[in-house]
Structure 1
Amino acid sequence: MESVLTWRKSIFTRLMLTFALIVSPLFLAAFFIYNWGIGSVKEELERSMRSQVGFFVSNYNTEVQRINALLYNTLYDSNLTDLANRVSELSDYDLYRSVNSLQQRLLVLENSNLYVKNATAYIPSADMFVTSNGGLEKVDEEALAFFNSASTDSKAQLLQFRGDFYLRALLPLDVRYRMEKKVHLLTATLSIERIRTSLGQMDVRPGGGTSLLLPDQSLVSQPGADEALAAAFGSALKSRPDLSGSGTLTFRHEGRNYFAVYESSSYLGATLAVYVREEALTEKADRIQRLFLLFSLAAGLIVLVSMLSAFKFVQQPMLRLIRALRQMEKGNLNVEITHRREDEYGFVFTRFNGMVRNLNQLIDQAYKQQILTQQAELKQLQSQINPHFLYNTYFVLYNLAMSEDYDNVKQFTRQLGAYFQFITRNAADDVPLRAEADHARTYCEIQSLRFWNRLTVDFKELPASCADLLVPRLILQPILENAFEHGLADKKADGRLSVEFLLSEIGLEIVVEDNGPLLADSDVARLNERLTSEAPASETTAILNIHRRLRLKFGEASGLIFRHGREGGLQVRIVICSIEEGKGEADNETDADRGR
């Protein structure tokens, strides 16, 4: 087992080679056959769609050309020219006969083509226009001005006016000349409904449709078309940078992909398109799909056999390894895995068993080392009683005695006794937060007497729900000491220090804030960076010691956070993310200590 396993003993190699040799040819054959069939069906359907679209575009061009030819033939009709040029010379009878003959000619033009619903002759010189449906009426000046001056890119002179589409025939004269000389012209109104009906005659698969994009970018679809689908297709079609000639496009609507074939008519200035769901491209591939299904079933059976083999040689040992790892997750480090075969799992299980044994030894050593280190750091912190603090407190006591302020002498000596009792005792590493807060309050009261003319301390009440929370000893007093020595040391008057306890969703925050000199952003950032530095034990400061002990007890989200104070100075937040952990374990002992 100590030697490296050769490939001949590798389960993975044997299984993968066997699987690849058996399954790969089947899947490759099925894949190529299926894709060849689908590709052929798609090409056939696309050719059919292109042919159909091309036929209808050609038909529309032919019909519109016929309409335009009839319009221009009518433009030179003798009855129209008589009405346009000799109306004042005609008798009432001749006028009636000319109008009647012209209307019959327009009616023939209307009936000669499916897409024309009305034909109109504008005769501004006689202040009249004649329609195939309504006869003689007075000239519509707005319509006359539009048809005389409107321009279009459509060679067929296809125009939109008042919601309808028109073909016009006019003499090739200047617009101003036509308006001033009141030159006559003809228009043919196209029936959008008949165009829709003709679009409906195209062979459209279920779920698809046909649409005609006109020169004004309006979209005409077959009767009963899905308007939302047609609008989505229209947006996709209009987004094409170039619609000249013919082409294909794909678009998406309501989670489905669609395929479209379009062809543009330079004569009409319009684009005709047919679109279908992409699934429709493969509807005729049923035989190929069945063949592919058979191949897939055969491959599935082969895979099943391979998986049964893999279960015996791979999965069962893997399950044993997983169960052992889960036992380790629950804290059971006395697990051991046995394996009889000389393969990869035998090598892994042997190393796993050795790893568990080594892990047990390392955890035991690390745990003991951690306990010893924490105790040593706490001892070191307790021994760091500032000599200046001791001298100054005795000096304050001396002054109080000299001034015969015996009440404050009693109070001050009681506070000093409580302070040194708490900081020097070694009964427990964890204390209730109530005791820690009382010690910090005592320390602040001592400092208030020392600096009574320079600063004030606002120490808020501790919430009753947090009083029994067990916390590491001396997490608050060193922070207050830093505030007095560094933040408020240069304050000659109006120094303020506040301590408050805030409950939040994550737990408890103890906020210590002074109004000392304003720190730069870089200084605050540097303080926060020091908390995450990997300083050796010999260089661990009291603040870093507090931060580490809080994280060890309450989790990685707990610890210290430095911020700018609200009135200048520095704000230190002591974050404790759990206020339910470890309540009451040291209560009896602490109560006894308070009674000493």
Structure 2
Amino acid sequence: MPKINLFTKIVLIFVVMLLPIMGLYFFSNRTSTEVLRDELNDSNANRLLFFQNQVNVNIESISLWPNLLIHDPDISDLRDTFESPGPSLTLDMITLINRIQRKLSIQENSSNWQSSLYIYSPILNRVVSSNAVKAYDDAELKRRMKQGWQVQGDGKGQYIFSMFSVAPFSSFNRPQESNLIIEVRFGSRNIVDMLDKFKSDGRRNPFFYKKDTGVIYNSSANRAVAEELVVQLEEEHAMDVVNQTVKLNGVNYLVNTQHSDTTEWYLIDYIPLSDVIGPIVQTNRMFYFTVGSLLLMSFVLAYVLYAQVQSPLKQLVGSFQKLKYEDYSVRLKPKGNNEFSFVFMRFNSMVVQIQELFEKVYLEQIHVREARLKQLQSQINPHFFYNCFSFISSMAKMKNHEAVVAMSQNLSSYYRYTTRQERDFVSLSDELDFVGSYLEIQKLRRNRLDFTVELPPRLRKIEIPPLVIQPLVENAVLHGIEEKSGEGIIQIGVSEEEGWFRIVVEDNGKGLNEEGRINLARELEEPMSEKTGCGLWNVNQRLQLRYGEGAGIEIGPSELGGLRVVLNWRHQSSNNQEKEEPA
């Protein structure tokens, strides 16, 4: 299974976090939209019903006027007139008609609607209105007389509503036989004014519609949309559906209808659905924009974390893997000034130190091998063997058993130490015991040699690299004591001060003048040549590689008259060196 990097993980976390939020928002938004649509439909239906009732109340109020007027005394007198006055009206009749006209005017002004009342008298063959008295056409009147409210166009885009009342009612279909006919009229302008007031309350576009009659629009109606809406509702037989959504030319409309039992007209109101859910759509867009922005920010954040965290970590892990397989040339390139730059610099410094340490250890191991090889070579030196065995042979012939035993024991200790030396560190006491065995051998061969070793008890357990003291002692014997007649003295002392250890080897031998000592010190710091002694140079290099700056060999004159050689190194806890407390 492929590994998922940090960038992908962070993006997936953000997506997983946002998906439930988006799902809940989508569900709640859809529910809210449906609830809002239902509530809006109910509200519109109630408002339409209320408005329809207002129109019906006005119409029904006007429709009651004929019944009220028919019982008026003056109008009753006109109704009960059965003799025709001829072409001219009598004074009494004129007075009666004047009173009737005033009452008609009062009745017309009792309503907010502009309406008209007409009283037809078949006996007088005249029609009386609030402002005129004139003859009328019986045939035209008979043609217009029908039950209920009648609607006719006026040729100017308006409609005239009229209703007739006859006394007696049985003569409705025979107007020439009736005593009195009352007509009430009002124009559709009254309804238009009410539609305008109703529309001013919001973004509605109400209008009235009656099949085979026409449409009454409000003053600012979009007639093209209204006509298309009427056609579609008729085609779908959806005129009686109270609440519905209709799509016209790609635009959805919320449509509400109310039917009037009084006038048989439909009150239709429509509003673009976008106007209703526009704020919701805008909110949705803002939400989705916010979610998109958050997702984009999460991508940016994930990339920044990937570039600033995972990528450096991958480089660091990869570099450690290379380091694991001993590729010490690996280096990390710091970028910027952040924590990883600091870690990269420390890593590079660590690799450099490890590389230098390995080089030092490697060189030290080489020097140790060279020292051991040199020691083994000196051990198998035929002159050394010859002298030792010659001494044993001579002492045996002289029956000096103590000398034979002493030489054999010291020679055995000497070879045991050198041939079995496999450790990187030995205790100072073991190293000095080995040096003591070597000096005892030389002392047995040369009666004039004497030596002393001073080792404080607290320093006996101090660990040092093996074979670093014997080369100094060997040089003192071979190049100092043997080249000078008389008694030879070698002194070895060990001390410690402020963390620095010192091993001093002094002799009273031939020694070196100041120029010789300077040349020898310089040769110890230079690469080894044929002129440079292998033993001293090897010891100096090993101490410097092991203990660093300040460690090595110092050469100076001895108070005994010969040469004074000092080994210096600083105490290091990493070397597991411990001081033995005095007993």
TM-score range, shorter chain: 0.3 to 0.5
**Greater radius of gyration (CA):** 2
Provide TM-score, normalisation by structure 1.
0.43
Provide the TM-score with structure 2 as the length reference. Answer: 0.44
